[in-house]
Amino acid sequence: MASYTAKDITVLEGLEPVRKRPGMYIGGVGSAGLHHLVWEIVDNAVDEAMNGFASSIGVTLHEDGASITVSDDGRGIPVDVHPKTKQSALEVIFTVLHAGGKFEHGNYKTSGGLHGVGASVVNALSKELVATVRRDGFQWEQRFRQGVPQGGITKLGPARGTGTTVYFHPDSTIFPKIEFDADLIRERLEIASYLHKGVRITFDDQVSSRKDVFAHDEGIVAYLQKLVVARGARAVHDAVFPLSKEGGVRLDLALQWTEATDELIRSYVNGIPTGSGGTHEGGLRAGIGKAIRNYIETHNLTPKGVTLTADDLREGLTGVLSVFIAEPQFQGQTKDRLNNPEVQSAVDGLVRPALEHWLNHNISVAEAIVARIVLAARAREASRAAQQEVTRKTSPGNRLNLPGKLSDCTASGTAESELFIVEGDSAGGSAKQGRDRTRQAILPLRGKVLNAESASLSKVLENKELSDLVTALGCGLGKNFDATRLRYGKLILLADADSDGHHISTLLLTFIYRHLPQLIHMGRVYLAQPPLYRIDIGKETHWALDEAQKAAILAQHKGRATPEITRFKGLGEMMPKVLWETTLNPKTRRLLRVEITDALVTDRVINELMGKDASARFRFIMDRAEEARELDLT
Ligand code: TSJ
């Protein structure tokens, strides 16, 4: 080991606070903190590109998954040694805390907050860091360990072109686990390529031998179009509203209204995603609201008999907002909410006039947007009327309002209570007799269940079976869903294990997915698993859920008494006691929890399956449920 010089000791002392309390600089030493190192280095290269000096950035995740190289084709960090300090700019950048700002020269520096802590922080937290610079016809290198220079800057030899390359391997004495997430890095780089149009970013993932190139000359507009496609929503108008402004606050914005029923805005501050929004998003919403209302008023488009709420104006809106500001203040648990108050008025002040101007110059687009907004308002009012009807019928605690067919349990309203939806009267009868009546309620369905895929809320509520279900649950639906009024802890669909049963379950799940998705997200919806076979072997009785289980049971008892196999034709045939033992008893039954992990994807897949037969859709839903298969012994 080389001996330390006095200067090295100074460096060590200078960066000591970083190694002592890494969390203060990068938020923590977990995965998020580890990846902050990458964002920091990449942001420096992106800055060089944004200032117009670099056009390509390369990021390599090395085979070990624990080290990274980032390079750009910019000017190269200055390497000449300052006569007084005997240090190069490069050495200062990597060894002096918060040195970044000293080298701005009026350049636009974008990073801030947790980000933009400086390359010296990355250096301090790296077991090894190698900076290579090409400029003035030569290649230069300086090496560091835990932030300490391993010698001065060295001229390696002649080189063409200019640029900066930084290799680093985080220090395992700081980070308990060093494993970079290639997908996370890839996603971040792709977004950066949209937010900084014209920059070409390559990602070489040597862990899985995958290379990607991200480059988008259309920038944020291309990102918006990608988002709209990913949502599976049809656009209400073709032309995207684009807005780009340099100056005090640099802003890039793209907006498009779609037929989706919610709003989707992705926002960024200095390239950092702000998942919890903040003042920039607030300014955007205010600006959009004022522009649209002003347009509606000046063109005498105010609808009769319905008032437009702020939410109506933005229903189906898809937007990407990116701002760059000097000193971002982040707030909240995850520090992903912008808190600078001045940004609100700045964004509002930019968006309102620009959007209004655009609407006035694109009248047919503006009319399509206004029509979409009025439709949203009317749908909302219709849904509220339907909702009030349901609410009237389901005022809690009023037993008289419950559906006549419901066999309620005595413990309804508790987390232990369960509502079983059973197909047909005979199965309903068995379930009613076999159940634990203190905590298990039975609602038999007799009539046809409506396909709620594309039916309006009022149509859905005209369907007796579905409205009975909503009434029994007591929690309302759609936008008026109120979890506190839910009358049962679990909603369990109990259908025959045949294609009719699958069809009914599909229709019920479609309804729940469309109008009571919160129940699924809360993990309250289950599929019961009634057995398909009864297998008697000697004095023992076994039940099998499917062919595979039947085969397994037969194989287990090979060579013993001849098995007698009975296939259940339907739940109705099952003796109440058997139904209890196999399907209802919480101690022995098996339940499948219905889960939706990614609502967007599921939505799209369901749309794709819409044309297909019910059992294909059911299999899809079952596959999703299967992933969350659980042995329920509560
Ligand atoms: F973070 C970092 F420091 F490690 C780093 C910096 C990492 C990477 C991959 C690139 C960079 C970087 C820095 N690329 N380009 C620059 N540019 C400068 O530092 C630079 C160059 C020339 C001048 C000048 O005034 O001549 C000024 C600056 C700030």
Q: In this model, does residue 548 exceed pLDDT 90?
A: no
Is 309 contained in some domain? yes
Are both 199 and 60 inside the same structural domain?
yes
Is 597 contained in some domain? yes
Cβ neighbours for 456, distance < 8 A, ≥ 6 positions apart: 379, 382
In sign, the C-alpha dihedral spanning 246, 247, 250, 251 is negative
Helices within 21-84 (DSSP H only) = 22-26, 31-50
* 256, two tokens: 């498009």
- Quote the ligand 1 centre to 20 CA distance (angstroms): 27
* Residue-level pLDDT at 288: 98
Among 164, 166, 169, 202, which is best to mutate for testing ligand 1, by the most ligand atoms less than 8 A from CB?
164
Distance CA 243, CA 319 (A): 11
Atom of ligand 1 nearest to the CA of 45: 10
Q: Evaluate: CB of 111 within 6 angstroms of ligand 1.
A: no
Q: Which of 169, 197, 214 is the last residue of a domain?
A: 214
Q: Return the axis-axis angle of helices 31-50 and 182-195, rounded to nearest 10°.
A: 30
Q: Evaluate: CB of 235 within 6 angstroms of ligand 1.
A: no
**Which pLDDT band holds residue 3 (cuts at 50, 70, 90)?**
low
Among 37, 41, 44, 60, which is best to mutate for testing ligand 1, by the most ligand atoms less than 8 A from CB?
44
pLDDT tens per residue across span 416-429: 999 999 988 888 99
Q: Evaluate: CB of 620 within 6 angstroms of ligand 1.
A: no
Q: Evaluate: CB of 43 within 6 angstroms of ligand 1.
A: no
Are both 74 and 201 inside the same structural domain?
yes
Q: Evaluate: CB of 463 within 6 angstroms of ligand 1.
A: no
Q: In this model, does residue 609 exceed pLDDT 50?
A: no
Q: In this model, does residue 109 exceed pLDDT 50?
A: no
Widest Cα–Cα separation across the chain:
98
- Quote the ligand 1 centre to 103 CA distance (angstroms): 9
173 burial level (CB within 10 Å; 0-12, 13-18, 19+): exposed
Type of residue at 211:
K
Q: Evaluate: CB of 41 within 6 angstroms of ligand 1.
A: yes
Q: Mean pLDDT across the stretch 503-527?
A: 86
* Residue-level pLDDT at 116: 54
Q: Mean pLDDT across the stretch 532-560?
A: 86
Is 445 contained in some domain? yes
Q: In this model, does residue 315 exceed pLDDT 60?
A: yes
* Residue-level pLDDT at 571: 83
Q: Mean pLDDT across the stretch 7-36?
A: 85
**Which pLDDT band holds residue 86 (cuts at 50, 70, 90)?**
confident
Q: Evaluate: CB of 44 within 6 angstroms of ligand 1.
A: yes
Q: Evaluate: CB of 78 within 6 angstroms of ligand 1.
A: yes
Our count of domains for the chain comes to 4
Lowest mean pLDDT among 18-22, 258-262, 436-440: 258-262
Q: In this model, does residue 326 exceed pLDDT 70?
A: yes
**Which pLDDT band holds residue 495 (cuts at 50, 70, 90)?**
confident
Distance CA 562, CA 430 (A): 29
Q: Whose CA is nearest to atom 24 of ligand 1?
A: 78
Question: By percentage, how much of the chain surpasses pLDDT 70?
Answer: 86
Are both 330 and 405 inside the same structural domain?
no
Q: In this model, does residue 362 exceed pLDDT 60?
A: yes
Q: In this model, does residue 114 exceed pLDDT 60?
A: no
Q: Whose CA is nearest to atom 3 of ligand 1?
A: 119
Is 162 contained in some domain? yes
CATH of the domain at 351: 3.30.230.10
Are both 184 and 298 inside the same structural domain?
no
CATH of the domain at 497: 3.40.50.670
Are both 159 and 279 inside the same structural domain?
no
Are both 196 and 78 inside the same structural domain?
yes
Residue 81: DSSP 8-state: B
* Residue-level pLDDT at 632: 29
| Residue 346: C-alpha distances to residues 281, 282, 596 (Å) | 11, 11, 39
Are both 209 and 259 inside the same structural domain?
no
Please spell the DSSP secondary structure of 415-432, one letter per residue: TT-EEEEEESHHHHHHHH
Are both 349 and 303 inside the same structural domain?
yes
Q: In this model, does residue 6 exceed pLDDT 70?
A: no
Is 631 contained in some domain? no
Q: Evaluate: CB of 70 within 6 angstroms of ligand 1.
A: yes
> What are the residue numbers of the active site?
423, 496, 498, 500
Q: Which of 156, 182, 214 is the last residue of a domain?
A: 214
Q: In this model, does residue 382 exceed pLDDT 60?
A: yes
Domain that holds residue 456: 401-530+572-623
Q: What is the residue-averaged pLDDT of the chain?
A: 85
- Whether 405 and 446 have beta carbons less than 8 Å apart is answered as yes
CATH of the domain at 149: 3.30.565.10
Are both 340 and 198 inside the same structural domain?
no
Q: In this model, does residue 226 exceed pLDDT 70?
A: yes
* Residue-level pLDDT at 5: 65
Atom of ligand 1 nearest to the CA of 93: 3
**Which pLDDT band holds residue 449 (cuts at 50, 70, 90)?**
confident
Are both 509 and 578 inside the same structural domain?
yes
Are both 517 and 424 inside the same structural domain?
yes
Q: In this model, does residue 137 exceed pLDDT 90?
A: yes
**Comparing C-alpha atoms, which of 420, 429, 237 is closest to residue 318?**
237
Is 6 contained in some domain? no
Atom of ligand 1 nearest to the CA of 104: 29
Are both 174 and 209 inside the same structural domain?
yes
Atom of ligand 1 nearest to the CA of 123: 4
Distance CA 243, CA 65 (A): 39
Is 553 contained in some domain? yes
Q: Mean pLDDT across the stretch 230-249?
A: 90
Q: Whose CA is nearest to atom 29 of ligand 1?
A: 103
Q: Mean pLDDT across the stretch 85-111?
A: 64
* Residue-level pLDDT at 400: 52
* Residue-level pLDDT at 509: 86
Q: Evaluate: CB of 92 within 6 angstroms of ligand 1.
A: no
- Quote the ligand 1 centre to 116 CA distance (angstroms): 13
Q: Evaluate: CB of 93 within 6 angstroms of ligand 1.
A: yes
**Which pLDDT band holds residue 605 (cuts at 50, 70, 90)?**
very low
In sign, the C-alpha dihedral spanning 409, 412, 417, 420 is positive
Q: Which of 350, 381, 412 is the last residue of a domain?
A: 381
| Residue 13: C-alpha distances to residues 10, 20, 144, 147, 558 (Å) | 5, 11, 15, 10, 75
- Residue with the bigger pLDDT between 367 and 619: it is 367
Among 41, 46, 68, 77, which is best to mutate for testing ligand 1, by the most ligand atoms less than 8 A from CB?
77
Among 75, 108, 126, 144, which is best to mutate for testing ligand 1, by the most ligand atoms less than 8 A from CB?
75
Distance CA 219, CA 223 (A): 7
* Residue-level pLDDT at 556: 87
Q: In this model, does residue 437 exceed pLDDT 90?
A: yes
Q: Mean pLDDT across the stretch 512-538?
A: 87
* 197, two tokens: 């149009």
